[in-house]
Amino acid sequence: MTQIDYYMFPLSPFGYLAGTRMEEVAAKHGATVNYKPFALMKVFEEVGTPPPAERHENKAKYRGQEIERVAKFNGLPVNVKPAFWPTNPAPACFAIIAAQNAGGGDMAGLVHSIFRACWAEDKDISQDEVIKECLTTNGFDGSLSDSGMLDGAETFSKNTEDALKAGAFGTPTYVVNDQVFWGQDRLPHLDAYLAEQA
């Protein structure tokens, strides 16, 4: 069975704007999804990409316009300047890792609910109560927000190394075999590639 490695970062607006379309593509082709939260700022540092706060004002302005356009096109509510952005992404990343290891719930729902909490609901995803709500709403034990910390930290670090080795330089990044698809706007390309592999 084909596996999609999804290198994701819960503070990414474009990860949020992908919605659950990647999971729909995976289901269409019978592929599995391996969620791999990673340290985006570390990858930016390694590949020479300045963080958002240090980018030229033209690029920052375009980013805001693009977020609004894509949100409207995809039918998703969005706050271009969320109340709690940036914030510490580690609790959300570790919870996603713990939930994937535990199984039994809706991973796509969990990931999207964390994105939505930040980008549409003005919730602070560094806070335990926010993460617990996302977990329980999607069929996971809320205690995973606490129990997965050590393993989560180790996996998070490994995911970051894996992202660089796989060729990732931003997020969302979807990797199948040796093919890298960067950005929610590349989902049709991922769909076409998986169809070719059938």
Q: Residue 32's pLDDT is what?
A: 98
The CA distance from 35 to 95, in Å, is 11
* Domains of the chain, first to last: 3-197 (3.40.30.10)
**pLDDT tens by residue, 88-126:** 999 999 999 999 999 999 999 999 999 999 999 999 999
Closest Cα partner for 88 from 125, 60, 123, 53? 125
> Which pTM value belongs to this model?
0.96
> What per-residue confidence (pLDDT) applies to 109?
98
Where are the extended beta strands (E) located within the chain?
A: 3-8, 32-37, 173-176, 179-182
pLDDT recorded at residue 53: 87
CB count within 10 Å of CB 179 equals: 14
CA 115 – CA 13 distance, rounded (Å): 8
